Amino acid sequence: MNQTRPWFRIGSLIVGLAFLYIPIVSLVVFSFNKSRLVTVWGGFSTKWYGELMRNDQILNAAWLSLKIGALSATLAVVLGTIAGLVLARFGPFKGRTLLSGMTTAPLVMPEVITGLSLLLLFVTMEQLIGWPAGRGMTTIVIAHITLTMAYVTVIVQSRLASMDDSLEEAAQDLGARPAKVFFVITLPIILPALLSGWLLAFTLSLDDLVITSFVAGPGSSTLPMVVFSKVRLGVSPDINALATIFVTIVSIGVAVAGYLMARQQRLRESDVQMALAANQELVENLKRT
């Protein structure tokens, strides 16, 4: 193997990962700081967590954000799966290029543009058909679905592209109708991809500030909106506590997902081995008779 300069590769990895993780570690460390000055160590304390739990504004916003996130992620997975399926399995059809473009464009579109355009749509629709009446949770959910389904589509499409479609073909040959093939064969196989798509959509929805600010009405402040208005005035330790809670949940989630996927992989491998062993046994038995 022509492996050049391993020290350079290892060094760049260490520097890069340090760059990615030092800010997060500093957030976590200073959330346990007694001093209000976020960056001067004044002893260990968990008082900012208590303060966070007593902050009704943040708690209400967090609850609203969780509701919006769960609802929009679920609908985004449904729509994104259909879009991914259409793009990966339906072959060429009229307007495929447009659909493909429309699913990838939200990934790169500057958020200020998406937010502004959605708001103007909602205002125009309200004038024309009276719906959505005012802005609030409904409009935020629609906006988040539109943004996050793009990510789900990409995940599902690439999962389907890398998936062996002979099982689907076999089912079709045996007379299963397309809907049945999808629900009985395809869906269970791509379920892990749907799960990670849901989690990604959920986190993106929970995190979005710009688009949400455009389409939110008075009285529907989500968590990022509250955090942003607080952070604008300077650092405050209870936001560090909030960030630590975020990081903890995400790390646990990723660890659990990683464990489950590894276990599934092992199960699949042992299934294959058992199948091979059974096959071997069958062959042996046949030889004997």
Partner 1 sequence: MSYQPPRPWWLRWLPAGRTGVIAIPYLWLMLFFLIPFVIVLKIAFSDSRIGMPPYEPLLQWAGAQVVQIKLNLANFAFLVEDSLYWKAYLTSIWVAFVSTVFCLLIGYPMAYAIARASQTRRNVLLLLVILPFWTSFLLRVYAWIGLLKNNGLINNTLIALGVIDEPIQMLQTDFAVYIGIVYSYLPFMILPLYSTLEKMDLTLLEAAADLGSRPWKAFLQITLPLSRDGIIAGCMLVFIPAVGEFVIPSLLGDPGMLMIGKVLWTEFFNNRSWPVASAVAIALLLVLVIPFMVYEWGRLRREAAGEPV
Q: Which of residues 230-269 bind partner 1 (CB under 8 A)?
A: 231-232, 234-235, 239-240, 242-243, 246-247, 250-251, 253-254, 258
- Residues 60-79: x/- map of binding to partner 1 (CB under 8 A)? -------------------x
Q: Contacting partner 1 (CB under 8 A), which of 213, 216, 220, 238? A: 213
Q: Shortest gap between Cβ of 58 and partner 1 (angstroms)?
A: 13
Q: Shortest gap between Cβ of 282 and partner 1 (angstroms)?
A: 30
Closest CA to 151 of 81, 251, 87: 81
116 Cα distance to chain centroid: 23
Q: Shortest gap between Cβ of 235 and partner 1 (angstroms)?
A: 5
For partner 1, give the closer residue by CB, 22 or 191. Answer: 22
In this chain, which stretch among 3-11, 54-62, 184-192, 271-279 interacts with partner 1, using CB under 8 A?
A: 3-11
Question: Tokens for 54?
Answer: 């007593």
Residue 107 CB burial class (10 angstroms; 0-12, 13-18, ≥19): exposed
Closest CA to 257 of 208, 206, 183, 203: 203
Q: Shortest gap between Cβ of 159 and partner 1 (angstroms)?
A: 14
How many residues bind partner 1 (CB under 8 A)? The answer is 101
Calpha distance 151→153 (Å, rounded): 5
Cβ distance 194 to 80 under 8 Å? no
For partner 1, give the closer residue by CB, 64 or 227. Answer: 227
Biggest alpha carbon distance in the chain?
A: 84
Q: Contacting partner 1 (CB under 8 A), which of 43, 44, 97, 286? A: 97
Q: Which residues contact 49 (CB under 8 A, 6 or more apart)?
A: 31, 238, 241, 245
Window 142-181: residues binding partner 1 (CB under 8 A): 142-143, 145-146, 149, 153, 172, 175-179
Window 25-64: residues binding partner 1 (CB under 8 A): 26-27, 30, 37-40
For residue 113, state whether it binds partner 1 (rule: CB under 8 A).
Answer: yes
CB environment 64-102: b (16+ within 10 A), e (fewer): bbeebbbbbbebbbebbbebbbbbbbeeeeeeeeeeeee
For partner 1, give the closer residue by CB, 55 or 146. Answer: 146
Q: Shortest gap between Cβ of 225 and partner 1 (angstroms)?
A: 10
Calpha distance 50→59 (Å, rounded): 12
Question: Tokens for 193?
Answer: 């991809």
Q: Shortest gap between Cβ of 177 and partner 1 (angstroms)?
A: 7
Q: Contacting partner 1 (CB under 8 A), which of 56, 93, 188, 285? A: 93
